C-alpha cells in the first residue's frame, strides 16, 4: 500500500502547480516527465514481471490524476468563454437598444460587469470601436479578443 500512498501524495503535490488557472504549461511539462517515467517503468515491468502490478496501479493513479487535471482546465476554459459570450450578448443587446456600444460594460449589464472582473474580462470603448478581451486560462499571457465585425473570438498568443 505504501507505494500507492506515495503516488497519491505526489499527485496532490503536483496539483498545486498544475491545476490552477494559467498553469497549462506546467501540466504539459509534467506530462512529458510522466511519459519518460512511464516508458522507464514499462521497460522495468517487462524485465521484472513481479513489479507489473505495482507499476500498472501507479500508472492508473497518475492517469486518473491527469484526466482530472485536464478536466479542471477544460472547465476553466468553458467558464471563461461562457462569461465572455454573456458579455458579448449584453453589449450587442445594448447596441440594438441604443444604436451605439456602451462606454463601460456596466452600462450594458450590471450583473455581467460584476462577474467580468472575476472572469478576467476587460472591455474598452475607444475611437468608436468596442474591444472585449478575456485572458486565456490554460497558457499564461494568452487571451481571446472578440471581433465584433466578424462575430467571433480570436486567439491572441502571448
**Residue-wise DSSP of 71-85:** HHHHHHHHHHHHHHH
Which letter, b or e, does each residue of 131-158 get, where b requires 16 or more Cβ atoms within 10 Å of its Cβ?
ebbbbbbbbeeebbebeeeeeebeeeee
> Is 80 exceeded by the pLDDT of residue 2?
no
Domains of the chain by residue range: 2-75, 77-156
Backbone angles phi, psi at 101, to 5 degrees: -85, 150
pLDDT digits (tens, 9 = 90+) for 126-151: 888 999 999 888 877 889 999 999 99
Question: Where is average pLDDT lowest: 8-12, 70-74, 110-114, 116-120?
Answer: 116-120
Amino acid at each position: 500500500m505504501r507505494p500507492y500512498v506515495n503516488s497519491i501524495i505526489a499527485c496532490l503535490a503536483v496539483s498545486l502547480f498544475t491545476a490552477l488557472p494559467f498553469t497549462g504549461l506546467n501540466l504539459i511539462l509534467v506530462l512529458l516527465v510522466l511519459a519518460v517515467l512511464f516508458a522507464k517503468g514499462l521497460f522495468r515491468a517487462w524485465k521484472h514481471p513481479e513489479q507489473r502490478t505495482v507499476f500498472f496501479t501507479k500508472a492508473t493513479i497518475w492517469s486518473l490524476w491527469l484526466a482530472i487535471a485536464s478536466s479542471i482546465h477544460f472547465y476553466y476554459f468553458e467558464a471563461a468563454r461562457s462569461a465572455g459570450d454573456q458579455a458579448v450578448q449584453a453589449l450587442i443587446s445594448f447596441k440594438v437598444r441604443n444604436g451605439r456600444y456602451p462606454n463601460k460594460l456596466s452600462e450594458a449589464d450590471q450583473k455581467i460587469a460584476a462577474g467580468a472582473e472575476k472572469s478576467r474580462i476587460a472591455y474598452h470603448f475607444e475611437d468608436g470601436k468596442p474591444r472585449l478581451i478575456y485572458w486565456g486560462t490554460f497558457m499564461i499571457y494568452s487571451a481571446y479578443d472578440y471581433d465584433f465585425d466578424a462575430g467571433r473570438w480570436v486567439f491572441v498568443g502571448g
